[in-house]
Amino acid sequence: MAIHLTVIIRRPSDEVFDYIADLGRLSTWHHAIESVEKITGGDNRTGATYRVRRTLPAGHVENRVSVTEFESAKRFTIESQPGPKPFAYRFRLASTPQGTRVDVDASRDGLDLDRAPTMPPALASALFQRRMAESLRRLKHELEREKPANAWPVT
């Protein structure tokens, strides 16, 4: 199951990218993330690996997640390795006159709807899209709520 969402965030792309690519902050804006723990050394670039704990309607899930794509201020992808409820998120960023456009391609198998295994795929997809849209609204709020003194001006 895959979805595509877009959000405009009134901040420069390097700030937005740095926030998204810092997986330690994921629990502040993603609806299902409880915690993220880095399990490899180094920076957050391609190959970095994390333990991600999520709370889903069917219960708690832990995934091993790797950064599979990293192009500063432009592109960031994370994918879960084999395990329960696999997922992948690809973020593409572009500067716009309004700030930064963030395009997100997200996919999940199973959609963590174990309590409703007969849910029609269209309904499951709509629920997944709604939850991801909620997460992106939280991301936008986190990034736009406080403007540092040296912040890029919004026009």
Task: Tell me whether residue 139 is in a domain.
Answer: yes
Task: Tell me whether residue 155 is in a domain.
Answer: no
Question: What's the confidence (pLDDT) of residue 45?
Answer: 87
Are 78 and 66 within 8 A, CB to CB? yes
Question: What's the confidence (pLDDT) of residue 86?
Answer: 78
Name the residue with higher pLDDT: 121 or 76.
Answer: 76
| Positive or negative: CA dihedral 22, 5, 143, 52 | negative
Residue recorded with tokens 């198998």? 109
Task: Tell me whether residue 103 is in a domain.
Answer: yes
Helix (H, G, I), strand (E, B) or coil at 29: helix
pTM of the entire predicted model? 0.82
Task: Tell me whether residue 120 is in a domain.
Answer: yes
Q: What are 37-92's pLDDT values in tens digits?
A: 999 877 778 889 999 998 876 678 888 999 999 999 999 999 988 666 778 999 99
Q: Give the residue numbers spanning the domain of 16.
A: 2-144
Name the domain count of the chain.
1
Task: Tell me whether residue 102 is in a domain.
Answer: yes
Task: Tell me whether residue 53 is in a domain.
Answer: yes
Tell me the two tokens of residue 38. 């880095």
Mean pLDDT of the chain: 84
Tell me the two tokens of residue 128. 């997944």
Task: Tell me whether residue 121 is in a domain.
Answer: yes
Tell me the two tokens of residue 69. 């794509």
Comparing 9-13, 118-122, 132-136, the range with the smallest average pLDDT is 118-122
CATH for 54:
3.30.530.20
